[in-house]
Amino acid sequence: MNSTQIILKSSTRDLILVTGGAGFIGSNFVLSWLKNTGDSVLNLDLLTYAGNPANLAELEGDACYTFVRGDICDPELVASLHREHRPWAVVHFAAESHVDRSIVSPEAFVRTNVLGTFTLLEQARLYWMGLNGAERERFRFLHVSTDEVYGTLGAGDPAFCETTPYAPNSPYAASKAGSDHLARAYFHTYKMPVLTTNCSNNYGPFQFPEKLIPLMILNALEGKPLPVYGDGKNVRDWLFVEDHCAAIRRVLEAGKPGECYNIGGNSERANIDVVTAICDLVDELRPVGAPRRRLITFVEDRPGHDRRYAIDAAKIARELGWKPAEKFESGLRKTVRWYLEHPEWVENVRTGAYREWIAQNYAERREVHGLGTRD
């Protein structure tokens, strides 16, 4: 085991093992879990470019929180964490998560998302098989996945439901689909109590500014071009991250092992509408002379860019009573405010690695036209 273990404190309460808890959704989940339950959290995170311990700074000294820096692909480490901390649940967020990076460098996606998920499933299975009675009954493995495994929709197609056939189009989506199939197989073959959630695009505090919403907020604030891919009419369904965290808590609490649950925000928006809404919010909260919409620049499209994602979240509403609480407009306003109010966090995540990525992804991308030149 060549990981760094930073044991902040330990307690004897019930504990869950979270992977990727220093990333965007994972850190929101850890904070909300500790606020909403009496359990402790063991967070296993490799701290790649996307992992940021500052997201969890408020937990320093908290007896209910333990952080371990390490790799989900390391079977000895994963086995020892199960053995020593005896989680009643594993909530698996750790992944390479950015589609554009998966197009440039797909290998890391296969390693972490496929091999890493396999390693975690296998070590969790060995641990679970050694449990007895009530402990064995109670154990859950929740695999966090994405709507991108279902492929792309046309404008009039019905939204993705849990029985929509898988048709992943990017290396990211394909690697997540592979991990979903492994999760499914572990239930089917070993009867291990695995649950899978497939969620739409999240947004909110702590999102790394390589993704659409934080990238546009920060570029708008700094008067930089706002690079919209293609014609800007690709559609995503957006979910405020706290709603995703609440859905995961609910699935852990009441979900049926072996089942998949689609999670969505009922908020389909074209990218260009998201970007103009951000421009208007930044204008309102940090006014400058000229409207930020002037910064919108249409650039060469992402290869294989999925046209539309939409989620049918009727199953989780019907069976578990979960619905999103946040409307897109209010969630976006909260998100813009959060980035404006946390300049230090922003400064810290924009390391050399971040700047290199921006140069690599956008420098070669040909500008097609600015908003002002569109008819």
Q: Rounded to 10 degrees, what is the CA torsion of 223, 225, 229, 234?
A: 30
Query: Which of ligand TYD, ligand NAD, none sits in contact with 271, Cβ below 5 to 8 A by type?
Result: ligand TYD
3-state SS class at 89: strand
Residue 184 region by backbone torsions, left for phi larger than 0, else alpha for psi between -120 and 50, else beta: alpha
Handedness of CA 178, 182, 184, 185 (dihedral sign): positive
Determine whether 148 is an active site residue: yes
Site for ligand NAD in 301-340 (CB under 6 A): none
Enumerate binding residues for ligand TYD (CB under 6 A): 99, 201, 211-212, 215, 227-229, 234, 236, 271, 302
Task: Please report how close the Cβ of residue 327 comes to ligand TYD at its closest, in angstroms.
Answer: 19
- Helices and strands (H and E) in the chain: how many: 14, 14
Q: How far apart are CA 124 and CA 20, in angstroms?
A: 16
Closest to ligand TYD by CB, 140 vs 211, is 211
176 forms part of the interface with ligand NAD (CB under 6 A): yes
Determine the interface stretch with ligand NAD among 68-76, 275-283, 304-312, 316-324 (rule: CB under 6 A). 68-76
66 forms part of the interface with ligand NAD (CB under 6 A): no
3-state SS class at 369: strand
Closest to ligand NAD by CB, 347 vs 375, is 347
The strand pairing partners of 226, in sequence order, are: 296
Determine whether 344 is an active site residue: no
Closest to ligand TYD by CB, 87 vs 227, is 227
Q: Which of 172, 186, 203, 339 is catalytic?
A: 172
272 forms part of the interface with ligand NAD (CB under 6 A): no
E strands, 46-156, are 65-69, 89-92, 140-146
Query: Which of ligand NAD, ligand TYD, none sits in contact with 30, Cβ below 5 to 8 A by type?
Result: none
Closest to ligand TYD by CB, 301 vs 319, is 301
Q: How far apart are CA 15 and CA 287, in angstroms?
A: 46
3-state SS class at 41: strand
Task: Please report how close the Cβ of residue 287 comes to ligand NAD at its closest, in angstroms.
Answer: 30
Find tokens 């929509």 and name the residue. 164
Determine whether 172 is an active site residue: yes
Q: Are 239 and 200 in contact (CB under 8 A)?
A: yes
Closest to ligand TYD by CB, 136 vs 233, is 233
Going edge to edge, which strands form the sheet with 367-370?
226-229, 296-299, 367-370
- Binds ligand NAD (CB under 6 A): choice among 15, 30, 41, 72: 72
Q: Are 329 and 257 in contact (CB under 8 A)?
A: no
Task: Please report how close the Cβ of residue 58 comes to ligand NAD at its closest, in angstroms.
Answer: 17
Q: What radius of gyration, in Å, describes the C-alpha atoms of the chain? A: 20
- Binds ligand NAD (CB under 6 A): choice among 40, 97, 234, 267: 97
Residues that bind ligand NAD (CB under 6 A): 19-20, 22-26, 44-48, 50-51, 71-73, 93-95, 97, 112, 116, 144, 146, 176, 199, 201-202, 208
Catalytic residues: 147-148, 172
